[in-house]
C-alpha cells in the first residue's frame, strides 16, 4: 500500500460576509439572533489524498480557493469543517514576505524562521552558508527586509524553505516573481526533492510547468475540485475553459465526425502544393482528439504534406516548405472565417502559432451545409530537435474578438531531426506563410 503524505476529508472554509460593519454588531446583539451575513465558501467539501513522494499541482482562476487550501495545510488557517492530516515536516512559501519581520534584517529573519521550524541556533549556524549561497542576495542579507525587492524576498524565503530539509514542500505561486535563472535553480532543487522521495505541492498559473513538473494535478473551481488527473489532459480543459469559457470533451461523438453535404465534395486546386484533390488527401483519424468549441464549423479532417510533393510529413529537418490541410464541415453561414494551427513541444509549451487573423487574410463568406478544404502553406521553422504536436482551430471574428467554433488538441505529430543541430535561438519567425481555401464549385 502507498503511504499518503497528505489526507484531506470534506474540508470546508466558510467566511461570513457582511454588507456593512454595523451589520456585524447588529447580528452579535440581536435578541433573536437574526442573521445579517451570508456565507461564502472559499472551500467546499474538498477531499483527496496525496501520495508520499509525488509532485502535485493545483490550478484554478484567482479566487478559486487554491491559496486557502494551502494555508490550511500549513496551519495558517483553520478549516470551518472537515479534517486533514499532514505527515512529516512541512516547509512552505505561501506569499511574499510571509513569516518575515520587516524590521529585522535578512540574516535575522533566517534564524527567526529556523526557530519556527524547530531548529536551534547551532543547527541554523550549520545551514546558514548554504542558505545564503542559494539566495545569492549579497550584502543585502544585512539590511532590513522592508527595503527588499520582491525578487529578494522570494530568493531568501525559498532558500530557507528548501534548506531546512522538509518532508513536504508547499509553494504558492511565489516563484513567478523571480528572474529566469533563479526560477531554473528553484525547479532543479524541487526536482532533487522529488527524486529523493519527498512531496511537493504547489499552486501555479503556468500550464507548461504543470505539464512538465507535476505527476498529478487538481483543478479548483469555486472552492471545489472541478477536475483532476494527468496534467496534460486537465491543462487542456483548463486552457479552453479559461480562454473561451468552454469545457473540453475527450472525444467527438460519431455523429459529429460524420461528414455530410448537399453539394458534394470541395476540390483543392493546386500547383505543386501536395495532393490535387480533396479525395487524394490521406486524412488523419481525429475522432479521439480532445476538442471544444461552439460547433458552427467542425474540423473533420487534417493532414500535413510536403508542399512540393505528395508525401505526408513525419520527420523534418526544419526549413522545408509544408502544407497543412483542413477539411471543414460548415454548419452555419460564417461571415468572417479564421483558421489556424499551433505547434507545441512535448511539455505542452507553444513554440509557434499561425492564425489567419494575425496574417490579415480575409476568407470569403462560407455558406451553411458546405464542405470546404483549407490549406496553410509555410516554411516549417528550424527549431530544436524533438517531437512536436500540432493543434488546429477554426473560428469566426477577428484576432481580438472571436468565437471559437472548433479547437482540436494534438491532431498531428511531427519530429524534427536535424543532424546539423541548427535551430532558432531567438524569436521563431514563420516564413512564406499563405492561406488558401476552396469551396464547392456550385457554391461559388
pLDDT in tens, 183-198: 767 877 888 888 888 9
Core vs surface per residue 204-220: b (16+ CB within 10 A) or e: bebbebbbebbebbbbb
Q: Which of 158-172, 263-277, 325-339 has the highest mean pLDDT?
A: 325-339
Rounded to 10 deg, the angle between the 121-135 and 150-163 helix axes is: 130
**Range 391-397 average pLDDT:** 91
* pLDDT value for 393: 93
Using the structure block, give the residue that is written with the C-alpha cell 477554426: 394
Provide CB contacts within 8 A for 413, sequence distance 6+. 387, 388, 389, 390
Check if the beta carbon of residue 430 is closer than 8 Å to that of residue 256.
Answer: no
Q: How far apart are the first and last CA of the chain?
A: 66
Closest by alpha carbon to 327, among 397, 262, 277? Answer: 277
Q: How far is CA 9 from CA 12, 60, 74, 97, 276, in A?
A: 9, 20, 16, 30, 61
- C-alpha cell belonging to residue 255: 455523429
| Whole-number average pLDDT of the chain | 82
pLDDT over threshold 60, residue 261 = no
Q: Which residue has the higher pLDDT, 281 or 228?
A: 228
Provide CB contacts within 8 A for 49, sequence distance 6+. 4, 6, 7, 8
**Range 240-266 average pLDDT:** 49
Provide CB contacts within 8 A for 158, sequence distance 6+. 93, 134, 135, 171, 174, 175, 178, 186
- Output DSSP code: residue 353: E
- What percent of the chain shows pLDDT beyond 70? 84
Provide CB contacts within 8 A for 314, sequence distance 6+. 414, 415
* pLDDT value for 171: 85
Using the structure block, give the residue that is written with the C-alpha cell 465534395: 265
Q: Minimum mean pLDDT among 31-35, 158-162, 240-244, 422-426: which range?
A: 422-426
Rounded CA-CA distance 204/183 in Å is 13
pLDDT over threshold 60, residue 77 = yes
Q: Domains plus CATH for the chain?
A: 4-244 (3.40.50.300), 254-438 (2.70.50.60)
Check if the beta carbon of residue 286 is closer than 8 Å to that of residue 301.
Answer: yes
pLDDT over threshold 60, residue 150 = yes
* pLDDT value for 262: 32
* pLDDT value for 142: 92
Rounded CA-CA distance 428/383 in Å is 8
* pLDDT value for 437: 83
Q: Minimum mean pLDDT among 135-144, 238-247, 256-265, 374-383: which range?
A: 256-265
Q: Minimum mean pLDDT among 107-116, 207-216, 334-343: which range?
A: 207-216
Beta bridge partners of 168: 90, 199
* pLDDT value for 105: 93
* pLDDT value for 12: 95
Rounded CA-CA distance 67/54 in Å is 19
* pLDDT value for 257: 33
* Residues present in the chain in total: 444
| 55-59/216-221 β-pairing | parallel
Provide CB contacts within 8 A for 444, sequence distance 6+. none
pLDDT over threshold 60, residue 426 = no
Provide φ and ψ at 163, rounded to 5°: -80, -10
Burial degree of 246 (CB within 10 A; 0-12, 13-18, 19+): middle
* pLDDT value for 115: 85
pTM above 0.85, yes or no: no
pLDDT over threshold 80, residue 313 = yes
Q: What is the pLDDT of residues 321-344, one digit of tens each?
A: 999 999 999 999 998 899 999 998
* pLDDT value for 90: 87
Closest by alpha carbon to 308, among 221, 382, 379, 384? Answer: 379
Rounded CA-CA distance 130/114 in Å is 13
* pLDDT value for 427: 65
Rounded CA-CA distance 303/325 in Å is 5
Rounded CA-CA distance 376/433 in Å is 7
Check if the beta carbon of residue 5 is closer than 8 Å to that of residue 167.
Answer: yes
Core vs surface per residue 364-374: b (16+ CB within 10 A) or e: eebbeebbbbb
* pLDDT value for 274: 57
Rounded CA-CA distance 335/337 in Å is 6
Amino acid at each position: 500500500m502507498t503511504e499518503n503524505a497528505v489526507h484531506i476529508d470534506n474540508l470546508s472554509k466558510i467566511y461570513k460576509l457582511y454588507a456593512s460593519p454595523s451589520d456585524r454588531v447588529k447580528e452579535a446583539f440581536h435578541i433573536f439572533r437574526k442573521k445579517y451575513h451570508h456565507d461564502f465558501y472559499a472551500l467546499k467539501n474538498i477531499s483527496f489524498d496525496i501520495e508520499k513522494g509525488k509532485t502535485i499541482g493545483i490550478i484554478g482562476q484567482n479566487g478559486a480557493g487554491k491559496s486557502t487550501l494551502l494555508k490550511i495545510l500549513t496551519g495558517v488557517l483553520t478549516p470551518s469543517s472537515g479534517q486533514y492530516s499532514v505527515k512529516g515536516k512541512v516547509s512552505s512559501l505561501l506569499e511574499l514576505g510571509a513569516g518575515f519581520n520587516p524590521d529585522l534584517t535578512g540574516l535575522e529573519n533566517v534564524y527567526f524562521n529556523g526557530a519556527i521550524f524547530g531548529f536551534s541556533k547551532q543547527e541554523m549556524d550549520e545551514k546558514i552558508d548554504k542558505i545564503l549561497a542559494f539566495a545569492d542576495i549579497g550584502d543585502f542579507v544585512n539590511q532590513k527586509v522592508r527595503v527588499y525587492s520582491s525578487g529578494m524576498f522570494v530568493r531568501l524565503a525559498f532558500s530557507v524553505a528548501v534548506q531546512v530539509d522538509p518532508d513536504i514542500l508547499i509553494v504558492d505561486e511565489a516563484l513567478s516573481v523571480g528572474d529566469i535563472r533563479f526560477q531554473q535553480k528553484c525547479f532543479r532543487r524541487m526536482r532533487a526533492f522529488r527524486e529523493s522521495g519527498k512531496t511537493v505541492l504547489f499552486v501555479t498559473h503556468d500550464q507548461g510547468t504543470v505539464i512538465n513538473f507535476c505527476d498529478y494535478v487538481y483543478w479548483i473551481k469555486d472552492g471545489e475540485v472541478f477536475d483532476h488527473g494527468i496534467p496534460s489532459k486537465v491543462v487542456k480543459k483548463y486552457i479552453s475553459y479559461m480562454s473561451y469559457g468552454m469545457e473540453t470533451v475527450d472525444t467527438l461523438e460519431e455523429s459529429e465526425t460524420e461528414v455530410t453535404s448537399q453539394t458534394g465534395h470541395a476540390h483543392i486546386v493546386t500547383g505543386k502544393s501536395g495532393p490535387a484533390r480533396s479525395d487524394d488527401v490521406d486524412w488523419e483519424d481525429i475522432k479521439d482528439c480532445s476538442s471544444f468549441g461552439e460547433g458552427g464549423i467542425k474540423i473533420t479532417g487534417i493532414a500535413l504534406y510536403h508542399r512540393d510533393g505528395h508525401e505526408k510529413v513525419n520527420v523534418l529537418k526544419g526549413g522545408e516548405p509544408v502544407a497543412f490541410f483542413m477539411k471543414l464541415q460548415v454548419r452555419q453561414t460564417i461571415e468572417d472565417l479564421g483558421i489556424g494551427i499551433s505547434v507545441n513541444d512535448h511539455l505542452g509549451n507553444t513554440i509557434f502559432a499561425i492564425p489567419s487573423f494575425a496574417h490579415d487574410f480575409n476568407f470569403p463568406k462560407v455558406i451553411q451545409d458546405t464542405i470546404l478544404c483549407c490549406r496553410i502553406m509555410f516554411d516549417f521553422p528550424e527549431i530544436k530537435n524533438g517531437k512536436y504536436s500540432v493543434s488546429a482551430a477554426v473560428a469566426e471574428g477577428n484576432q481580438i474578438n472571436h468565437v471559437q467554433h472548433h479547437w482540436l488538441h494534438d491532431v498531428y505529430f511531427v519530429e524534427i531531426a536535424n543532424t546539423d543541430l541548427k535551430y532558432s535561438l531567438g524569436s521563431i519567425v514563420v516564413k512564406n506563410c499563405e492561406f488558401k481555401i476552396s469551396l464547392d464549385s456550385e457554391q461559388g
